[in-house]
Every structure is written in structure tokens, then in C-alpha cells.
Amino acid sequence: MIILSCSSIRSILDMKSVLIFGLFGLTAALNYQFAEEWHLWKDSHGKSYTSELEELERHSVWLSNRKYIEEHNAHADDFGYTLAMNHFGDLSEREFKDKFLTHEPGNYTSRGVATFKAPQGMKYVDSIDWRTKGAVTSVKNQGDCGASYAFAATGTMEGANALSNDKQVALSEQNIIDCSVAYGNHGCSGGDTYTAIKYVVDNGGIDTESSYSFRGKQSSCQYNSKNSGASATGAVSISYGSESDLMSAVATVGPVAVAVDANTNAFRFYQSGVFDSSTCSSTKLNHAMLVTGYGSYNGKDYWLVKNSWGKYWGDSGYIMMVRNKYNQCGIASDALYSML
């Protein structure tokens, strides 16, 4: 028979109290702030977590991002654009950067890429939107695959093909993700747009999206020439930092692939208006997109840019980025288009 001393009994009771209060604290913590909004957000974006602890951590990040968005929108009239919560809401800045901002700027000079020469004496239209001319396919979603370079490459090839053949054909990003690795790209872990186009040139074509569908991860190359939807003969780059040349190319050629610095929360949660941020870099480029037009809105010149983060990001998958403001975010620092 074991007889416990009074001090031992007190210790056991103390331990039980700690355990009870610990469980009470965890239960209280699980009463999430803005619980209904949080659960609606999770459901709408198909979010699930492996444990209650992970969900608490993600919820904490979500709350921080929610506060940032709310504070920005309180002064949206001063900024000229609004933000909204989206599927990136449970990611920290570092996680977002590591997963999605993986574009590698191309060095066109060393590769001998031709440089665009703007036509002399030409008067350009005040605005243009290549979507209205059948040169832009629907907004796509790269998911968790860090391959914006592939989407920008297909975008400029789709535009050139549509304008040349008067027929819109969606091309396969998965084809590029799987098959341009030998050229120096890294599947879903980054790459550059020129290398993607160079692969298509050397390969003699790129498959259609319908025949080689997007899977969101790199696999072995499955290109089949019978399913080719377009080809390319090369690429033309825009003079580094020249927004005037970029405008000329967009006006006279069609959609142009670009790369920007998207490493800001304002960009990540952009919703509407003309994005104008002095905090982004014109040299540290990390995300590829497609300029599909330009114009002016509420007195601000803008670039109309197609993203690859799905139609629920931004303005139905697009962003208006400020134009003629010192090459903001590097919009003209790494721009090129494909040639048929």
C-alpha cells in the first residue's frame, strides 16, 4: 500500500490544475477572432490544416494580413487602389515570396536576343485592350506551382498566334514546365520567360492546353507534335526600362511578357484601381506576367496586366499598374514578346 504525503498530494493537485487551466486556455484560443469570416474564407478557398495548432498559426497570419488590408482600405482614396483578402491570406510574407515569386530575370544581351525598334513618327492610340481583339485567353491559375514564367511565355505566344491566324488557342504551360528544365528552368521552382520561349523555338512547337493540361507539378516531358497548337521563331526584347518602347510594342505588336517586383503585401492583395507603390523595386524582379493593354483611369496612366493567380485575384485576374512613373516595379526592365 502506497501512502502519499500531504506535499505529494498538493503537487498532484497543482499539476491537475495546470492541466485543466491549460486545456481551458487552448479552448479559449480556439474561439477564433472573426470566426465566421475565417471559416467562410477557409471554405471558399478549400483550406484545411493538419492540426489545431497549425490552424491557430495560420489564423494568426490571416488576422495580421486582414488588419493590413483593412488599414490600407481606410485610406484607399489616398492610395488610388483597394485591397481584398484572397487565397494568399494565410501565408506570411516569406512563405509567399518563396513559393510564388520565383521568376529569374533573363540576360538578353548575352543571349543575342533582338531588341525592339519603335516605329518612327507613329502616333499611338491613347488606349488599347487586346482582350477585345481576341488576342488574350482566359485567366489561368498557377496554383502552388512557382512557374509564372511559363504563363507569361504562353501568353505572348497565344497573342502572336491569335493575331496572325485569327484564331485563339490556349497553349500548355505544363509543356513548358516539364520540358524546359534541360534549358535551365526549374519546373515549379522558377525560371525565366525567354528560356521558355527558346525551348519552344528549338522544339518546333508547343502543345495545346487541352491536350497537355496543367497539373501544378513538374513531371517528365510529354510533348507530342501531333497536339502542337503554335510555334515560335524567336523573341524580341524591349530596351531595358523604356516604358515608351513597351507602349509602342504593345500598341503595334500585341501582348508583351514582363516581369515585376511583386514582393509587397499591397501587390499580393490588390483588388482594384491603379496600383501605385513607391516601395517596389525596378531591378529586383521576381514575378512574370503579361501586359495586354494600356490606358488612363481617374487621371492616372496604367498598364493592363494579366496575372496567373486565378480570376478571383485582383480585378478578375488583372491588375492596372501605374504607367509612365519611372518604370515602377520594373514593368519595362525585363519585357519581351515572341515571334512566329
Is-contact 88 268, C-beta < 8 A?
A: yes
Q: How far is CA 213 from CA 156, 169, 177, in A?
A: 18, 13, 11
Please report the pLDDT score of residue 202 as a whole number: 98
289 bridge partner residues: 258
**Where do we find the cell 496612366?**
301
In order, the DSSP letters of 121-180 are TPPPPS-EEGGGGT--PPP-B-TT-B-HHHHHHHHHHHHHHHHHHS----B-HHHHHHHS
pLDDT digits (tens, 9 = 90+) for 247-306: 999 999 999 999 999 999 999 999 999 999 999 999 999 999 999 999 999 999 999 999
Q: pLDDT band at residue 107, thresholds of 50, 70 and 90?
A: low
Catalytic residue, chosen from 59, 72, 103, 287, is 287
**Does residue 103 have an active-site annotation?**
no
The model's pTM is 0.90
**Does residue 287 have an active-site annotation?**
yes
Q: Decide if pLDDT at 59 tops 50.
A: yes
Q: Decide if pLDDT at 10 tops 60.
A: no
Crossing angle of helices 35-44 and 52-73, rounded to 10°: 100
Please report the pLDDT score of residue 311 as a whole number: 97
- Give the contacts of 314 (CB within 8 A, at least 6 positions apart): 270, 271, 272, 307
Q: Rg for the chain (alpha carbons), in Å?
A: 25
Is-contact 174 201, C-beta < 8 A?
A: no
Please report the pLDDT score of residue 39 as a whole number: 97
* Fold classified for 86-339: Cathepsin B; Chain A (3.90.70)
Catalytic residue, chosen from 227, 307, 324, 327, is 307
